[in-house]
Amino acid sequence: GDVGLALGVMTIFLVFGSVNFDTVFSSILENSDRRLSFLSFEINALELIAALLFIGAMGKSAQFLLHVWLPDAMEGPTPVSALIHAATMVTAGVFLICRASAIYDAAPITSGFITAIGAFTAFFAASVALVQNDIKRVIAYSTCSQLGYMFFAAGVGAYNAAMFHLFTHAFFKALLFLCAGSVIHAMHHEQDMRKMGGIWKKVPFTYIAMIIGTLAITGIGIPGTKIGFAGFFSKDAIIEAAYTAGAIGASDSATFAFWIGIIAAFMTAFYSWRLIFMTFNGNYRGDQKTYDNAHESPLNMLVPLGLLSVGAIIAGVLFYSKFMGNYGDFWNGSLVMDHSDHHASMSIENLYAAAEVSVLNGIEATKHSGIFGWMFNLVHGYPFWVLLLPLLVSISGFSLAFLMYMRGVGASKHISDIEDNGGSPLYNFLLNKWYIDEIYEIIFIKWVRKMGDIFWKIGDQKIIDGFGPNGISSAVSRTSKRLSKLQSGYLYHYAFFMFLGVALIVIMVFSKVGG
């Protein structure tokens, strides 16, 4: 990822003579047809720059194929995990794409690829989260999935929707991680949800905060109104943007992203409520002593949960107009949204006329509310089912999780069935993360290790150490051993060498004088 980012920056300097955003953006039109030669191929310069920067963004924001590091980033202290997953490096890739939006507007092929990769990442990570048993690992994979949403929003041109979701995601993702930390604290460092259950009475505040975070990440709200949790406004804006981009032909991969986003929304609801039910509800399945000693976290841990809960509830409606409405004042020109050059035949006005929304300026979900909003969308060709579908799949995901993990003996039956039968092939496939790590082990890591062994044994041990410190010390040792033989300990040997030395000196002196 970093190699791609570095090459992208170098290519920007090669093409534009500067890496300043203002300079680059002002010169995009005149360089839109410029081509670079690479290995006998002629490549559009802006497409190449966009692709290289995206490779860097994939690594930073853990998109599919470069995602393997992110779940392991949750192994540290939970507050650090919350910070990493909510507001630091993992969001840098999304920000880079949005900040360089003018470049991606002029690179439709790469933008389509971003849409496809983002959508697939959302689906892939959500599918893996369905079966994870480590409470923090479930949330870690949800981060990867939500980043996929942000990327495919940027891919279809809804950069402000991507940034809006990045913003709201920070609240509920940090909240979920800190709630997980509170649970782990209460359970004496236990993270396996199979050994939890029925602890909501022990940690009521954490339970409520976790539910708020879950309602936010699943995007619960009332379509056509300004009533909803933070994720309702931002995630639905992304899904609607993908639908509109596909409907008006602005992006070839947008329709694919729309349906994948809907499926991922269903899986998000399922794994989020599965976490709630396995952890807080049902029968306790762990050590009885641990349960007896479980207690709510201290105040210094609960205050951040309360503050983040407020953000997870109101951040969407409070900042909606900043991101999705008159964004010019908020961004102060830093986020380029003028797409008139790249979409010359599809002006912003025409896009609004086609769908009452502009996928390239982000989506304002509806202009009205209630029955009038419904009629408005039907009349203007924007079907209400697009607004309603995300909510329906979220409710469906909740319902399925409830039936599987709350009805009857709930989670205990599923856990015992898997332990007894080993799980289905699909379950094991998802549990092993699509075997991506094993594939990387065979294709890359195994051979890299072999090459490393060769370089270590030959390059390091034999060449560097052999001719370096080890070789020098060995030569000194051998020389000293040979010279030590001159130290025999016999006085007449020393006298002989002294006489020989004096004789040589006398001969040298007389030879100099005689010369």
**Nearest-angstrom CA–CA distance, 273 and 405:** 9
pLDDT at 356: 40
Amino acid letter, 131? V
CB 218 within 8 A of CB 397: yes
**Nearest-angstrom CA–CA distance, 10 and 7:** 5
pLDDT average, residue stretch 426-441 = 86
pLDDT at 408: 59
What does 202-249 look like in DSSP terms, one character per residue? Answer: TSHHHHHHHHHHHHHHTT-B-TTSS-B-HHHHHHHHHHHHHHHHHHTT
pLDDT at 331: 61
User: Angle of helix 135-155 relative to helix 159-186, nearest 10 degrees?
Assistant: 180
What does 409-426 look like in DSSP terms, one character per residue? Answer: TTHHHHHHHHHHH---HH
Which residues make beta-bridge pairs with 36?
A: 43
- Confidence bin at 352 (pLDDT 50/70/90): very low
Least confident segment among 41-55, 188-202, 216-230, 403-417: 403-417
**Nearest-angstrom CA–CA distance, 490 and 501:** 17
CB 391 within 8 A of CB 215: no
Best-predicted range by mean pLDDT among 9-23, 107-121, 481-495? 107-121
- Confidence bin at 367 (pLDDT 50/70/90): very low
pLDDT at 379: 32
pLDDT average, residue stretch 506-513 = 83
Residues of the chain with pLDDT > 70: what percent?
84
Residue 313, C-beta contacts closer than 8 angstroms, at least 6 positions apart = 212, 216, 229, 230
Helix ranges restricted to H, 294-383: 299-324, 327-331, 348-355, 370-379
Q: Which two tokens stand for residue 440?
A: 């990387």
Position 293 pLDDT exceeds 80: yes
pLDDT at 67: 82
CB 113 within 8 A of CB 254: no
- Confidence bin at 365 (pLDDT 50/70/90): very low
What confidence tens digit (pLDDT) does each residue in 73-132 have?
Answer: 777 777 777 777 777 778 888 989 988 888 888 888 999 999 999 999 999 999 999 999
pLDDT at 378: 37
Residue entry with tokens 């782990």: 184
What confidence tens digit (pLDDT) does each residue in 35-84 have?
Answer: 888 767 888 888 888 999 999 998 888 788 888 887 777 777 777 777 77
What confidence tens digit (pLDDT) does each residue in 459-474 have?
Answer: 777 777 777 777 788 8
Rounded to the nearest integer, the mean pLDDT of the chain is: 80
pLDDT at 446: 82
What confidence tens digit (pLDDT) does each residue in 177-205 have?
Answer: 999 999 998 888 888 888 888 888 888 99
pLDDT at 391: 92
- Confidence bin at 368 (pLDDT 50/70/90): very low
Least confident segment among 13-22, 276-285, 375-384, 489-498: 375-384
